[in-house]
Structure 1
Amino acid sequence: MSGAVFGRDAEIGALSARAATARAGHSGIVVLTGPPGIGKSSLLDAFLDGHSDGTPRGPRGMTALRGTCAEDTATVPYEGVRALLRPLGLVGESAPGHPLLRGSARRALPALMPGTDRPPFAHDADYPVLQGLFSLTVHLAERHPLVLVLDDAHLCDAYTLRWLDFLLRRADGLRLLLILARSTEAPTADNAPWARFAAHPSCTTVPLGPLSPAAVGELALRTYGCPVVPSFAARLADVCGGNPGNAVRLMAELRSAGVRPDRDGARDVAELGGRLIASSVKSLFKREAGWVESVATALAILGHDLPDHVASLAGVSAVQVEDAISVLCRAEVLAPGGTAFTGGGVRAAVLEPLGAAARARLRARAALLLSDAGRPAEEVAGHLLAIPGAPRPWMTSLLADAAATAEDRGAPLDAARYLRRVLDARPEDHALRLRLAGLVAHSDPDAALALLRDTLDRAPDLRTRADAALRYTTVCLAAGQSVAPGHGPVRVLAELRSEAGLRERALALESALLLAGSSARRTTAGPGGEERAPGPRPAGGEADTEAVSALTAALFDNARDTATTHARRAVDAPGPRASWPVLTACTVLALADESAEALTVLNRAVAGPGGPDAGWAGAFALSARGLVLHATGAIPEAIADARAALAAADEASQRLVLPRLVLAAALIDSGEAAGAEDLLTETDPQASAGPVVEQHLRLMARARVRRALGDREGALRLLLACGRAQRETGLANPVFAPWWAEACLLLAAMNRPQDAHAHAEFGAELARRWSTAYALGTAALARGVITPGRAGLGLLGEAVDALAASPARTAHARAGFALGRRLLDQGDRVKARPHLRSAADLAHSCGAVPLALGARRLLIAAGGRMPELTGSREDLLTGAERRVVGLVLDGASNREVAESLCVTLRTVETHLTSAYRKLGVQRRAALATTLRTSGARAPVCGG
């Protein structure tokens, strides 16, 4: 690539497309525009060289004539023509005898002889010259398709521009392309030809905007010849406004000062670049009238705004504003055609001389000005946020309005920014502090807990402290933290129990503390109690309360209808979609076999604000969806979500346990128990603390890992420990961490069915109360694997039928496997085959590789046939997906894959996205590593 051309593929592509059209006989013109230093000349170099990123894209098969206009070109008639034709030897003393100047083309000679003084353009005198130049151009275009490139065309003389206009209006059918590069900063003496060019049907305007930080990083890499950290490139792009010419000049200064393109250098870019820009801006303001600086300052405060607002803040007339903007654009202080500064460094240089106090006064005046003009509250509040110190009363009113607007549009973090400033003015407003904590809880739990601790310690009203205690506890639940005995929420609960009128608040807080792993004792109906109708909603029916009620009804009361009612209330409550209440409610819905409903909500939570790119909130949303996906048998998808959740948590510097537990559980089912064990080892230091949900999921996952690795006795000890822990905490849900079912399957595999009867009856009773297809099917499976004879077969058949009606596809496959194996053990190979085939197919589609391999092995033993399953995750891919992945692994780009397979680029992207999801990866680089996984252990269903 020639010159400083980076990040310009789209522009080069546009030029190449017009060149191809010209080669086909459709003439046209391209006007390339941009401020000085933006890279117009370098872009033309790259285009004419015919390469961009190593791919031929220039005017192949075309004769390219290029000229550049100089400062004095505008005063010399036809100097632009001579600049274009000089490479052909058509200029000067050799011109008269040139073979191309034959016939009518000889009329062009007056334009080709330098130094000829000509009067102002006269049609009669110059028309023959224009005809001669046109004939010459036709001769050239007939020999080869022709591209005429005139750089710095804003300096071009009027005669040349008239000839180009003359040529363009007669060029139909010619294999001709005109490219004129002009600066947007320099006005031309005669704009009429440019207006005609723009109005021509074949004209394409290609504006060159600022380079992206990534493109500036490539430019820096070429300049320095060593790796460039992204922060250095981003700071350089900001200081230089994305202008490559400015970037090259600044990098020369940086290199001479010994600055390297690393993190330390990024700080130096701002300092040195700021000094250079400040010096340039200061010189400009000294040269110009004082009102130019006033307008620049007003624009720096107001940003993009109407001229009358700028005029009011600057204290000048609207006419002066327009003149000042023209001056600032020509000086590259403002971007062309608008009021935006060319970079953050330029804007800072304009504001720097003011000082903090003067800037604050201007901000306050701007806020009042915009408020009086009826501008949106958030726009006004943006100025108030930049004013240091506690806001004045009129400011707090505007900030509160802005917060309400932000909440209404689903932007809790913006609302929190405004309310923090209101809290600066009203530090004793604990209701405000509680509201602010609710806004930040889903994205920054540590900040929320700090706000709530202050309310717990200082709020005089017990109701307010109770609401703060409940929110504090739910934030701990979401963050995977425990509430220490004797801590604020526990003390508040003791106070609430003595107040008869606050019973509902006491119940909600008590339940939340139990879920958080607190030592608080439950005083309400415990496990096995009758299902109760959803009661009144304390604290205004907030989502936190509904989610706690849903989880309590599900886990402690085993009351499905009550749990789903509260869960749907939590989902419907106002607030962010990726918040703990909503995600917890979805988990409860999934426990109740309402997985499709839960996934609909979770998909919105992951895709919307607070999704995968939103740090902690994204990690929690992905973890919740991964948990539900795993329960439905979408194992590769669960792995992908859990890994994405871990990445999001790491990005937010949050160490969450839940995504590790979800990933471990899914890896076990996919045949990667060793990897799961490593993950669980990472969570062990937190095993004795944290929410009840995580403690029991951890015990279940550890038990299943031990079994997958062949340690049956160790697995049984962990399952029984899980059972004891559930009884101690009062958990009574049959399908959340179903230790009893796993224990029955394991004891059957160990030929100890007599030891499993008590566990099976315990689970069956809970399943009858919860009464979902998954619960009833799991209970039938647990009883079936330990029951001999016809009775056992009947129970296993009942399990297959029930689980077929549930969302739990992997559990359905396990039941089919157990039934098929029992039939095979009894010698009924014919009846065993369809169950084993179905189990193998279903397990394979779920990504449960060990179970699929085990079912296929027994199917072959029963006399059935099935293509070999390698145990590789590649088995999960369709034929089309395998072909796409194979080409990608060979190094092909998406476009090359599409061309190779004769399909659209969109089709390739769809297949690749599906393959990523099935393989549990997020990037191309992970494909090869993932597909090296081969083989798997025997199935662990045990039935």
Structure 2
Amino acid sequence: MSGQSGPSCARRVIFGRDGEIRTIFGRAAAACAGRSGIVVLTGPPGIGKSSLVRAFLDGSGDLERGATGGGRGMMSLHGVCRPDTTTAAYGGARSLLHPLGLAGEGAARHPLMRGAARRALPALIPGADRRPFAFDADYPVFQGLFGIVSRLLAHQPLALVLDDAHLCDEHTLRWLDFLLRRADGLPLLLVLARSTETEPADGTPWSGFAAHPSYTTVPLRPLSAAAVGEMARHAFARPVAPAFAARVADVCGGNPGRTSRLLAELRRAGALPDSEGARQARELGGRLTARSIRDLFDRKPAWVEAVATAMAVLGDDLPDLIAALAGVSAVQAEDALSALRQAEVLAPGRTGLASDEIRTAVLEPLAAGHLARLRARAALLLSDAGRPAEEVAGHLLAMPGAPRPWMASMLRDAAVAAEDRGAPGTAARYLRRVLDAAPEDGTLRLRLAGLVAHTDPDAALALLREALHRAPDLRARAAAAVQYTTTCLAAGRAVPGDRGPAEVLAELRTATGLRDSALALESALLLMGSADRTGTAAPPERTERTERTPEPVPAHTGAVTALVAALYDNARQAARTHARRVLDAPGPRASWPVIASCTVLALADETTDALAALNDAVAQAQTEEPDTGWTRALAHSARALVLYGTGALAEAMDDAHAALAAAGRTAQPPALPRLVLAAALGDRGEPARAEDLIAGITVPPSPAGPVVDQQLYLMVRARVRHALGDREGALRLLLAAGRAQREAGLANPVFAPWWAEACHALAALRRPREAAAHAEYGTELAERWGTAHALGTAALARGVITPGRAGTELLAEAADTLAASPARTEQARAAFALGRRLLAQGDHAKARPYLRSAADLAHSCGALSRARSARRLLIAAGGRMPELTGAREDLLTAAERKVVGLVLDGASNREIARSLCVTLRTVETHLTSVYRKLGVSRRAALATTLRAPAAVPARTPAWSG
């Protein structure tokens, strides 16, 4: 209602504006109590300012108070400013006071016009005064208008509500400022609604409003999907699917008016607020948008459409270039923007179209040739303006035909920028367009294939096959062959022999001046099991020279070199140097070269750095576009393998599952995550499940497939057979792995250590003498590799097959050495073997700490069957340990559990010491032990760790390895 108080008509339902409504009615309540104030509602056209004003006027927003007419007992006067109000003196005041009947010939005799109020008459006669504002002349009018308001306030609180106040005339605004300054202690509230898209002609009064102590601004923003869902529920009178609400909110840009119209159209079309209705909302919303856009353009001058088209082509917030692309003057562009704002075509607060639907509606009628010319002009304008290359390239991608030279140059720059920010998929899209203009450019094709390989190895292999066929000379063919082989290696694909890399290698071996190319290709084929080491291999002195003067090499070549140095040359320093160069080089983290280099660092016991880089790779792979799932599968698989090597079985299994989920969308899922998962299941005491999983793994046989997958496959099968009690079968698989490694030339002691596992199997079979040669072979490799993991593994292998005191000393050496490595499961294995040996020798006291350590370590890794075997021997040695259920708390002593319980309650160390009547040092000792047992490094991780799920109980033979 307007101009009176009293019962309102039907209450309005306002969605998504609870906070704004509370603010307005809170100010109204304060005004009723004598604290005058002003509320300014701001927002773009169509955002719902007028609806909120009407909700205040009829009291529908103040449901808790049950107020009407703007507030309980408050009279409200409502006016609306129009375009012609801007130049009409006191036009806004007349609109506000019109319901009082003060205009016309009888105004002077109105009861409100007694005394000084008559001075307001010049402001109340329409069209009587169009002169500029002058304070001396207008001051008496202000006093007269103030007299009218004072008489109204004498009867009840008053709200003056002015809609579209950005169109208000200067005289009215200055009078409202005059009124507000004299309203202290009066029950008066001013409510002004103004658009943020139009600046007032004179901002001085608005500055005065903002300076008032009780000034409150209420910005209105687009409705959320939840608010749109409430609107839909009210419109359809039934539950609303979140997808439907989100789609309507997206189509309408959160604009309440457009949302209401679309919901009404959907109801008339018989749509329901479900997933199918969401599809209809997009289609119908697009049609409604297109219709309203065409109607708008038909009513407006041609340059309005030209400006909208320029905005649709250029994108958002480029006002300086819009007029140039549209071919209109700056004045015409500004007028067009004003018309588009009023039509709700522009996004709130920006010089851009409100939604993709509006952009489509603007561009859809354009002929393809005209649109292509516009995009070319837009790209030139953006380039001349110094905009980023990717912004320019976005227009060039949408143009048909081969790009012209300047376009190709811009696309190359954009590809570099995309690659630098870690978006190889986007960079590949740019280079594909460049390749359209230069199909014979072999270097470009190789670079494109390298980018495509991050997300789609099959597409990369197709590009590389063509590069092999198109290469103009042997050097170019060699580069393509190296990249082809490494892509096969990363994707687990077989390398074809027909005109493939093997043929190129044969040519390189007889060519002169191409030794580096031959070395790179031979190394890649070695990892595929498709080549033998020959005289082309680099001698040791070459490797040392390369380390002193590194030369720039492609990332995939550097990764291959690191892998060959680690797996074949058993040269740790050279391997880690090449791996770190790859990690230090710019480029995407979620790439095979980076992931392969992390694997090399893990073999070198530099697990912390490897996991940090793999964490980055996994994070980047989550945002890869296009998301084929392949890069995520690769990153999760590699991290699973590294985590498994550290004994973090639960985390490794999580990554393996994530890799399989991502790979489920690829044509040929990798074998590695299944292998890691099977190995972890075997260690957790579920070898039957592991056996079933292995049965479904397909690994290309040598020499067609990657050596890494083949060797891991044999090793995991052997360990699972051992866990199932088939020690002879496990031994056969291990010896087969050893023969395959020797034939391939693999020489790394910790990658697939068949020799160490064979020693354990033969010791369990009571045939230790047969293992001596294997132990000697592995020890020699371990001493060359030189890590704690390798040396401890070798000492453990020798210790389990050596009787007497010498064997015990070797086991003690293994336990100490492995404690300095990241391999916690191997450390537990060594502690178990030493404790069991001491127990067999009758030294129960010395056996107990090693058996307890083995149980703790194995349990913290999740290897429950191993932990239970250690616990049984610990009890046999006279120790005590609760039954191991798989819960992490089983690792803790009673005193440690008390300390942890208080930590989880938030107690400090000092408070724990007072509570338990122990020293602070005792509490710190207990916590250090707890951190070690649970594998955490800080207090905050305790709660999460202790809530981890328990391992599945084992129903397998006792662990004896």
* Shorter-chain TM-score tier: 0.7 to 0.9
For structure 1, the 5+ residue unaligned runs are 52-56, 84-95, 97-105, 111-115, 141-147, 885-909, 920-926
Judged with a 3 Å threshold, the aligned counterparts in structure 2 of structure 1 residues 624 and 830 are, in CA distance, closer, same or farther, namely same
Question: Quick one: distance in 1 between partners of 2:342 and 2:194?
Answer: 13
The equivalent of 2:146 in structure 1 is 127
Q: What is the letter of the counterpart of residue 786 of structure 1?
A: I
8 Å Cα contact 2:44-2:195 kept in structure 1: yes
1:732 aligns with 2:744: no
8 Å Cα contact 2:44-2:349 kept in structure 1: no
The equivalent of 2:258 in structure 1 is 246
The equivalent of 2:316 in structure 1 is 304
* Greater Cα shift, 719-728 or 497-506: 719-728
Question: Quick one: distance in 2 between partners of 1:376 and 1:933?
Answer: 53
1:341 aligns with 2:356: no
1:587 aligns with 2:599: yes
8 Å Cα contact 1:538-1:545 kept in structure 2: no
- Once the two structures are TM-superposed, the CA of residue 434 in structure 1 deviates from its matched residue by 0.9
- Once the two structures are TM-superposed, the CA of residue 663 in structure 1 deviates from its matched residue by 3.3
2:339 to 316, 327, 332: 327
1:723 to 708, 722, 738: 738
Q: What is the letter of the counterpart of residue 329 of structure 2?
A: S
Which is greater in Rg?
Answer: 2
Residue 364 of structure 2 aligns to a residue whose secondary structure is: helix
1:364 aligns with 2:376: yes
Judged with a 3 Å threshold, the aligned counterparts in structure 2 of structure 1 residues 11 and 844 are, in CA distance, closer, same or farther, namely farther
Judged with a 3 Å threshold, the aligned counterparts in structure 2 of structure 1 residues 795 and 528 are, in CA distance, closer, same or farther, namely farther
Question: Quick one: distance in 1 between partners of 2:496 and 2:147?
Answer: 97
1:557 aligns with 2:557: no
1:661 aligns with 2:670: no
- Once the two structures are TM-superposed, the CA of residue 697 in structure 1 deviates from its matched residue by 1.8
Counterparts of 1:3-42 in structure 2, within 5 Å, are: 5=15, 31-35=40-44, 38=47
- Once the two structures are TM-superposed, the CA of residue 436 in structure 1 deviates from its matched residue by 1.3
1:386 aligns with 2:398: yes
- Once the two structures are TM-superposed, the CA of residue 800 in structure 1 deviates from its matched residue by 0.7
Judged with a 3 Å threshold, the aligned counterparts in structure 2 of structure 1 residues 149 and 779 are, in CA distance, closer, same or farther, namely farther
The equivalent of 1:520 in structure 2 is 531
8 Å Cα contact 1:297-1:350 kept in structure 2: yes
Question: Quick one: distance in 2 between partners of 1:850 and 1:223?
Answer: 61
8 Å Cα contact 2:874-2:880 kept in structure 1: yes
In the alignment of these two chains, the number of paired residues is 869
8 Å Cα contact 1:612-1:644 kept in structure 2: no
Q: What is the letter of the counterpart of residue 748 of structure 1?
A: A
- Once the two structures are TM-superposed, the CA of residue 658 in structure 1 deviates from its matched residue by 2.4
8 Å Cα contact 1:527-1:556 kept in structure 2: no
Judged with a 3 Å threshold, the aligned counterparts in structure 2 of structure 1 residues 209 and 770 are, in CA distance, closer, same or farther, namely same
8 Å Cα contact 2:347-2:353 kept in structure 1: yes
8 Å Cα contact 1:780-1:795 kept in structure 2: yes
Judged with a 3 Å threshold, the aligned counterparts in structure 2 of structure 1 residues 798 and 431 are, in CA distance, closer, same or farther, namely same
- Once the two structures are TM-superposed, the CA of residue 157 in structure 1 deviates from its matched residue by 9.1
Question: Quick one: distance in 2 between partners of 1:421 and 1:547?
Answer: 29
2:949 to 919, 931, 940: 931
Judged with a 3 Å threshold, the aligned counterparts in structure 2 of structure 1 residues 829 and 79 are, in CA distance, closer, same or farther, namely farther
Judged with a 3 Å threshold, the aligned counterparts in structure 2 of structure 1 residues 318 and 531 are, in CA distance, closer, same or farther, namely closer
Judged with a 3 Å threshold, the aligned counterparts in structure 2 of structure 1 residues 871 and 18 are, in CA distance, closer, same or farther, namely farther
8 Å Cα contact 2:78-2:96 kept in structure 1: no
Question: Quick one: distance in 2 between partners of 1:23 and 1:781?
Answer: 87
Residue 809 of structure 2 aligns to a residue whose secondary structure is: helix
Question: Quick one: distance in 1 between partners of 2:440 and 2:822?
Answer: 50
Question: Quick one: distance in 2 between partners of 1:641 and 1:19?
Answer: 58
1:680 to 691, 694, 698: 694
Question: Quick one: distance in 1 between partners of 2:227 and 2:450?
Answer: 40
Judged with a 3 Å threshold, the aligned counterparts in structure 2 of structure 1 residues 845 and 452 are, in CA distance, closer, same or farther, namely same
Question: Quick one: distance in 2 between partners of 1:551 and 1:195?
Answer: 69
1:850 aligns with 2:859: no
1:629 to 643, 647, 654: 643
- Once the two structures are TM-superposed, the CA of residue 153 in structure 1 deviates from its matched residue by 6.8
8 Å Cα contact 2:317-2:350 kept in structure 1: no
Q: What is the letter of the counterpart of residue 851 of structure 2?
A: L
The equivalent of 1:888 in structure 2 is none
1:460 to 468, 472, 475: 472
8 Å Cα contact 2:38-2:189 kept in structure 1: yes
The equivalent of 2:848 in structure 1 is 833
Judged with a 3 Å threshold, the aligned counterparts in structure 2 of structure 1 residues 289 and 670 are, in CA distance, closer, same or farther, namely same
Q: What is the letter of the counterpart of residue 592 of structure 1?
A: A
- Once the two structures are TM-superposed, the CA of residue 470 in structure 1 deviates from its matched residue by 0.9
- Once the two structures are TM-superposed, the CA of residue 371 in structure 1 deviates from its matched residue by 2.3
1:640 aligns with 2:651: no
Question: Quick one: distance in 2 between partners of 1:649 and 1:390?
Answer: 35
Judged with a 3 Å threshold, the aligned counterparts in structure 2 of structure 1 residues 374 and 835 are, in CA distance, closer, same or farther, namely same
8 Å Cα contact 1:5-1:42 kept in structure 2: no
List per-residue Cα deviations over 1:14-66 (Å, max 9, x = no partner): 99999999999999766443345545688899999999xxxxx9997897863
- Once the two structures are TM-superposed, the CA of residue 208 in structure 1 deviates from its matched residue by 3.7
- Once the two structures are TM-superposed, the CA of residue 803 in structure 1 deviates from its matched residue by 0.5
The equivalent of 2:515 in structure 1 is 503
- Once the two structures are TM-superposed, the CA of residue 847 in structure 1 deviates from its matched residue by 3.6
The equivalent of 1:486 in structure 2 is 498
1:596 to 595, 608, 626: 608
List per-residue Cα deviations over 1:132-155 (Å, max 9, x = no partner): 6667888x9xxxxxxx89796759
- Once the two structures are TM-superposed, the CA of residue 310 in structure 1 deviates from its matched residue by 1.5
8 Å Cα contact 1:38-1:243 kept in structure 2: yes
The equivalent of 2:70 in structure 1 is 66
Question: Quick one: distance in 2 between partners of 1:876 and 1:46?
Answer: 64
Counterparts of 1:511-550 in structure 2, within 5 Å, are: 511-517=523-529, 519-524=530-535, 532-533=543-544, 541-550=553-562
Counterparts of 1:329-478 in structure 2, within 5 Å, are: 329-478=341-490
Judged with a 3 Å threshold, the aligned counterparts in structure 2 of structure 1 residues 3 and 58 are, in CA distance, closer, same or farther, namely closer
List per-residue Cα deviations over 1:761-783 (Å, max 9, x = no partner): 33222212222110110111122
Residue 33 of structure 1 aligns to a residue whose secondary structure is: strand
Same amino acid, percent of matched pairs: 63
Q: CA RMSD in A?
A: 4.9
8 Å Cα contact 2:58-2:69 kept in structure 1: no
Please give the TM-score of this superposition, normalised by the length of structure 2.
0.78
- Once the two structures are TM-superposed, the CA of residue 361 in structure 1 deviates from its matched residue by 0.6
- Once the two structures are TM-superposed, the CA of residue 362 in structure 1 deviates from its matched residue by 0.9
Counterparts of 1:165-184 in structure 2, within 5 Å, are: 184=196
Question: Quick one: distance in 2 between partners of 1:805 and 1:391?
Answer: 59
- Once the two structures are TM-superposed, the CA of residue 390 in structure 1 deviates from its matched residue by 0.7
Q: What is the letter of the counterpart of residue 142 of structure 2?
A: H
Question: Quick one: distance in 1 between partners of 2:68 and 2:725?
Answer: 74
List per-residue Cα deviations over 1:242-281 (Å, max 9, x = no partner): 3344234324434443556677666544443222211111
8 Å Cα contact 2:153-2:187 kept in structure 1: no
- Once the two structures are TM-superposed, the CA of residue 215 in structure 1 deviates from its matched residue by 6.6
List per-residue Cα deviations over 1:725-745 (Å, max 9, x = no partner): 323332221111122222333
Judged with a 3 Å threshold, the aligned counterparts in structure 2 of structure 1 residues 702 and 64 are, in CA distance, closer, same or farther, namely farther
Residue 321 of structure 2 aligns to a residue whose secondary structure is: helix
8 Å Cα contact 2:80-2:92 kept in structure 1: yes
Question: Quick one: distance in 2 between partners of 1:754 and 1:438?
Answer: 51
Question: Quick one: distance in 1 between partners of 2:770 and 2:189?
Answer: 88
Judged with a 3 Å threshold, the aligned counterparts in structure 2 of structure 1 residues 494 and 644 are, in CA distance, closer, same or farther, namely same
Question: Quick one: distance in 2 between partners of 1:73 and 1:799?
Answer: 88
Question: Quick one: distance in 1 between partners of 2:876 and 2:35?
Answer: 71
Question: Quick one: distance in 1 between partners of 2:633 and 2:189?
Answer: 53
8 Å Cα contact 2:53-2:161 kept in structure 1: no
